[in-house]
Amino acid sequence: MLEITPDLLLQAYRIGVFPMGESRDDPKLYWLDPRLRAVLPLDGFHLSHRLARTVRSGQFKVSADTAFAETVRACAEPRPGHPESWINEPIVDLYTELHARGHAHSVECRMDGRLVGGLYGVSIGAAFFGESMFSRERDTSKVALVHLVARLIRGGFALLDCQFMTDHLRSFGAIEIARDDFKALLAKAIDQPATFQRELGGEDPCAIVQDSTRKS
Residue 32 has pLDDT above 90, yes or no: yes
Using CA atoms, how far apart are residues 116 and 71, in angstroms rounded to an integer?
10
Residue type, 104: A
Whether 125 is covered by a domain: the verdict is yes
Q: Distance between CA atoms of 141 and 147, rounded to whole angstroms? A: 10
- pLDDT exceeding 70 applies to what percent of the chain? 96
- In sequence order, the 6+-apart residues with CB closer than 8 A to the CB of 198 are 64, 65, 105, 151
Element (H, E) at 129: strand 127-135
pLDDT tier at 83 (50, 70, 90 boundaries)?
A: low
Mean pLDDT value across the chain: 94
Q: Is residue 63 part of a domain?
A: yes
This prediction's pTM: 0.95
pLDDT at 1 over 60: no
Q: Is residue 161 part of a domain?
A: yes
Q: What is the domain range of residue 12?
A: 6-215
Q: What is the pLDDT of residue 176?
A: 97
Residues written for the chain: 216
Q: Within a domain: residue 79?
A: yes
User: Is 65 within the bounds of a domain?
Assistant: yes
Quick check: is 1 in a domain?
A: no
Predicted pLDDT at 2: 60
pLDDT of residue 81: 65
Where residue 23 falls among pLDDT bands split at 50, 70, 90?
A: confident
Residue 32 sits in a domain of what CATH number? 3.40.630.70
Q: What is the mean pLDDT of residues 41-69?
A: 96
The tally of domains found in the chain comes to 1
pLDDT tens digit sequence for 164-214: 999 999 999 999 999 999 999 999 999 999 999 999 999 999 999 999 887
